[in-house]
Chains A and B, each alone.
Chain A
Amino acid sequence: MNGGHFRDLFEAALDGTLGAADRERLDAHLAGCAACREEIEFARRLRKRAARTAPGLSAAEMFRIRSGIADRIEGRAAAAGPRRLIPVPVLAAGLAVSVLALWFASRLRGPLSWERPEPALELKLGPAAPELRRGQFEALGGLGGTAVAARPEVEVLFDFETFPELQRATIVGFAPPELAAPGYSGRRALRLARGGDAAAPAEIRMRLAAGMSPSAVTAWVRCGRAPATVKLAAELASGAVSEAAPARRVLPGEWRWVAFSLDRAAVERGGGIVELRISIECAGPVELDRVEAWKGRLK
C-alpha cells in the first residue's frame, strides 16, 4: 500500500462506517492496487475468523475471576493474587516446609489427627517428584483429577482449572476420614497429605453432577530407578466395574500413559449422580503424576 492517505478510508471500510463519496474514492484506488485489495480482503477474513478463534471464558471461570477480585478488593486471602507471579519452586518449598513443620509438631505433641509418618522420613525438596513405593493408592476422582503420590506423604490434587465443569462436582467423602480436605482454593481444589502407610489406601470419592459421566481415564506415571508395573482401574459406586487397563510396564525415566475406558452405559445407569473411584496399583517404585478422566471415546 503506497497511498498513505487511503489508510483512514481503508480502516473505515472495515468498520463499515465509510460514506458514499469516500467509498467511491476507495474503490477507485482498490481497482488499481492489488496490494490494498489483498490486505483488505485479508483483514476481513481475519475478522470473520476471529469470532471462531475467540478463546472464550466459561461462566465458571468468570465467576472465579470475579470472586478473586472481590477477595483482593476486600483484602482477603493474600494468596488470591495472580498465583503465577509466585514462582513454583517457592510454593513447593513452602509446602515442603509446612509438611516438615507438621511432622515435627506431631513428634512433639503426640499423634495428630492423621497417621504419623514413618520415622525414616525422606523428604525431597526441589523439582524431583517423590516416589510412590510398593503399595496401592486409590483416588476417587472425576474429570481432570490430578494425583501426586509420595512416600511418606500422599498429595492429591484435583485440578478444577483444566475442566471448569468440575466446579459442579462435589467431594463427598474421604477414607480414612482423617484425610478430610484441609482447604478448597478453587484453583487447586483439594490437597491432602498423610502418613506413609501404603497398606492403608487413601480414598477420595467424588460425586459428579448429571451429564458429567467420564468415558475414559488416564494416568501419567513415571518410575524412579527400577522398572515398575502400573495397573489402573475405576469402580463406580453403584458397583459396576469398568474395564481395567492392562498392567503396563514402565521403564525408568520415561512418562507413560495408562488409560482405560469406562462403560458409558454403566456410568449413566447411576441415575444422574455418578460416583467414581479410581485406583492405581503400583508394583515397584513409581512417580505418579496425575490422573485424569475426560469425556470422549478412547478407541
Chain B
Amino acid sequence: MRGEEIARYEKLSDEAAMAACGRDEPGAFDEVFRRFAARVFGYLYHMTRDRELARDLVQETFLRVHRARERYDSGRPLKPWLFRIAANACADVRRSWIERLARRTRSLFQPPSGGADPAAPAGQRPDARAERDVIGERLRAELARLPPAYREAMILRDLEGLTCAEVAAALGKPLGTVLSLLKRGRDRLRVRLEAAGGKESWV
C-alpha cells in the first residue's frame, strides 16, 4: 500500500532509505527522490541557469542513483554521494559537444523572448513571475558568472546548506581546497553584487 510505504520510510534516515532502495524495497526509491529532487534541482538550476536542462539533469541524476543503488554504502552519508552524482551529470553535459551545439542552435529555433518587442508593456511577459524577483535574479546571474569551481562549491554550501565536509565529499576535493574555493567565491560574488547595487541592496 502506498500509504503504508510512505509511513514506513518517513521515519528512516536518508541513508537508511537509500539502503532500502539498494535492496529494491518498494517505495524506497520514491522516498529518496521525494526528499532530494527539489534540492538536486536547485543545485542543477543554479549551475545551468536553464530550467529544462536542469530538469533533464535531475532525471539523469536519479537514473544514475538508481543504477548505482546497490553500490551505495549505507555507512557513508547520502547527501554528498547524491550531489556528487549530480555534479558529475552536470559536468558531463558541460563537456558534451552535443550540448554546446544544441545551445548554439537553440537560438535559431526559439522565438524572441519577451523583451524582444519594445511595444510589449513591462511586466506583461510570459516570464513575469520570474521578473518580480529582481534581486534573486541578479544573485543568480552573478552566481552564474563565477567560475564553475567556485560556483558549485558555493551553491552546495551556501544555497543547499551542505557542511564543508559534505561539499568536499560531493565534489571529490580536499577540505582545504573547498574552504578556499568558498572564500574566494564569496569574495568575488560580494564584490560584484555590491558593485551592481550597493551594499545592502541585494538582500
* Residue among B52, B62, B111, B112 with max Cβ neighbours from chain A (10 Å): B111
Q: Assess the A69–B63 pair: CB atoms within 8 A.
A: yes
Q: What separation, in Å, do the CA atoms of A218 and B121 have in the docked complex?
A: 12
Contacts of A72 in B (CB 8 A): 59, 63
A46 and B46 CA atoms in complex are apart in Å by 14
Of the 9-residue stretches B8-16, B74-82, B97-105, B144-152, which lies at the interface with chain A?
B97-105
Residue among B37, B133, B179 making CB contact with A11, cutoff 8 Å: B179
Does A294 reach chain B (CB closer than 8 Å)?
yes
Residue contact A11 to B164, C-beta cutoff 8 Å: yes
- Chain B positions 142-183 with a Cβ under 8 Å from a chain A Cβ: 157-161, 163-164, 179, 182-183
- Given that A255-B117, A289-B111 are known contacts, is A82 also in contact with B59, CB under 8 Å in the complex? yes
Q: Is the CB of A82 within 8 A of B57?
A: yes
CA distance A53 to B53 in the complex (A): 18
**8 Å CB interface, A60-75 against B:** 61-62, 64-66, 68-69, 72-73
- From known contacts A46-B186, A296-B128, infer whether A65 and B161 are also in contact, taking CB-CB under 8 Å: no
Nearest CB to that of B119 among chain A residues?
Answer: A257
Contact B42 A256 (CB under 8 A): no
A127 an interface residue at 8 Å Cβ cutoff?
Answer: yes
B: number of interface residues (CB 8 Å): 64
Q: Chain A's nearest CB lies how many Å from the CB of B104?
A: 9
A98 contacts B by Cβ under 8 Å: no
Known: A50-B158, A57-B37, A257-B117. A84 touches B164 (CB 8 A): no
Encoded as 1 (CB less than 8 Å from any B CB) or 0, chain A from 142 to 168 comes to 001000000000000000011000000
Q: Are A65 and B59 in contact (CB under 8 A)?
A: yes
Q: Contact at B38–A57, with CB atoms within 8 Å?
A: yes
Q: Which chain A residue shows the least CB distance to B129?
A: A296
CB neighbours of B161 from chain A (8 A): 47, 50
Beta-carbon contact of B52 and A298 below 8 Å: no
Q: Could you say which of A11, A49, A255 contacts B203, with CB atoms under 8 Å apart?
A: A49
Q: Which residues of B contact A54 (CB under 8 A)?
A: 38, 42, 159
CB-nearest residue of chain B to A89: B105
A69-B66 Cα distance, complex, nearest whole Å: 9
Residues of chain A within 8 A (CB-CB) of B116 are 255, 257
| A112 beta carbon closer than 8 Å to chain B | no
CB A85 to nearest CB in B, in angstroms, measures 6
Min Cβ gap B139→A in Å is 6
Chain B positions within 8 Å of A57 at CB level: 37-38, 41, 55, 58
Nearest CB on A from B176, distance (A): 8
Q: Which of A37-45, A102-110, A238-246 contacts B (4 or more CB under 8 A)?
A: A37-45
Q: Is the CB of B42 within 8 A of A69?
A: no
Q: Is the CB of A7 within 8 A of B63?
A: no
Name B45's closest neighbour in chain A (CB-CB). A55
A48 to B202, CA, bound (A): 12
**Cβ-defined contact, B101 with A87, below 8 A:** yes
Instruction: Find chain A residues with CB under 8 A from B33 CB.
Output: 62, 66, 69
Chain A residues within an 8 Å CB radius of B163: 11, 15
Q: Are A84 and B117 in contact (CB under 8 A)?
A: no
Closest to B114 in A: A257
Q: Which residue of B lies closest to A146 (CB)?
A: B111
Distance in Å from the Cβ of A53 to the closest Cβ of chain B?
4
Other-chain contact of A82, B56, B119, B126, B136 (Cβ < 8 Å): B56
Asked if A84 meets B41 with Cβ closer than 8 Å, knowing A48-B203, A53-B136, A53-B139, the reply is no
Residue of B nearest to A47 (CB): B158
Report chain B residues within 8 Å CB of A290.
111
**A1 nearest CB neighbor, chain B only:** B183
Question: A85 and B186: CB pair below 8 A?
Answer: no
- Known contacts being A50-B158, A54-B159, is A294 close to B108, with CB within 8 Å? no
* A interface residues (Cβ-Cβ under 8 A, vs B): 1, 7-8, 11, 15, 38-39, 42-43, 45-50, 52-57, 61-62, 64-66, 68-69, 72-73, 82-89, 92, 127, 144, 161-162, 216, 218, 220, 255-257, 259, 289-290, 292, 294, 296, 298-299
CB-CB nearest 8 A-B residue pairs: A82-B56, A127-B108, A257-B117, A53-B136, A50-B159, A289-B111, A55-B45, A57-B38
Q: Given A82-B93, A85-B96, A294-B126, 6 other A-B contacts at CB below 8 A? A: A50-B158, A55-B45, A66-B37, A82-B57, A84-B53, A296-B128
25 chain-A/chain-B pairs, Cβ below 8 angstroms: A11-B163, A11-B164, A11-B179, A11-B182, A15-B163, A39-B186, A46-B159, A46-B186, A47-B159, A53-B140, A53-B159, A55-B42, A56-B38, A65-B37, A65-B62, A69-B63, A85-B98, A87-B102, A88-B106, A88-B108, A161-B52, A220-B111, A220-B112, A257-B117, A296-B128
